[in-house]
């Protein structure tokens, strides 16, 4: 199978850990869109948001998606907001199978509540912000080819499900 394996989902759903493990098992390169953007810009996502704004970041993200979606046989670890631009999902599906790593809001909050590198949570009421983002993005995530339960602390379940589907 030479299609890309594309992981989407909310922040804290385990995309990065699952992507790294899949890439090792399948001997495929792992491309993390957020990391690629940080490398190209020479600064963190939080800093890009702070200095240039979310709109600027989303434009960069779209450029990266245009580029990497043309490749094959890679594992793509997408940032949580990649689905906000409908064109991104379309591009990712042209040469990839898209997996939505679904975790409940409670599980996600428990995983990320103490992380300071998430710019969308640097607000007075992060739980409320998280709830709003989650509800906004849920219908977009549900456009994935497959939904994988990522509520468990172990990444083995999601990995096994993805391997079974490909």
148: Cα within 13 Å, side-chain hemisphere: 31
Arithmetic mean of pLDDT, 77-103 = 97
Compute how many other C-beta atoms are within 10 angstroms of the C-beta atom of residue 24: 11
| Residue predicted with more confidence, 118 or 73 | 73
Arithmetic mean of pLDDT, 76-91 = 96
Compute how many other C-beta atoms are within 10 angstroms of the C-beta atom of residue 134: 18
**Angstrom distances, CA of residue 112 to CA of 12, 15, 79, 92:** 6, 13, 14, 26
* pLDDT tens digits along 93-148: 999 999 999 999 999 988 887 776 676 677 788 788 889 999 999 999 999 999 99
**Structural domain count of the chain:** 1
* pLDDT tens digits along 35-50: 999 999 999 998 999 8
Question: 14: domain CATH number?
Answer: 3.40.50.300
Q: Which domain holds residue 111?
A: 4-165
């Amino acid at each position: 199978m030479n299609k890309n394996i594309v992981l989407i989902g909310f922040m804290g759903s385990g995309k990065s850990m699952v992507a790294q493990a899949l890439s090792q098992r399948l001997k495929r390169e792992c491309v993390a869109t957020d990391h690629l953007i940080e490398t190209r810009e020479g600064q963190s996502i939080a800093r890009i948001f702070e200095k240039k704004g979310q709109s600027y970041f989303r434009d960069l993200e779209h450029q990266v998606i245009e580029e990497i979606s043309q490749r094959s046989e890679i594992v793509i670890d997408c940032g949580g907001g990649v689905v906000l631009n409908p064109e991104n999902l379309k591009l990712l599906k042209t040469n990839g199978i898209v997996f939505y790593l679904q975790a409940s809001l409670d599980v996600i909050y428990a995983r990320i509540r103490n992380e300071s590198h998430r710019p969308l949570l640097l607000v007075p009421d992060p739980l409320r912000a998280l709830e709003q983002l989650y509800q906004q993005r849920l219908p977009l995530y549900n456009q994935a080819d497959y939904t994988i339960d990522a509520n468990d602390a172990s990444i083995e379940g999601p990995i096994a499900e993805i391997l079974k589907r490909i």
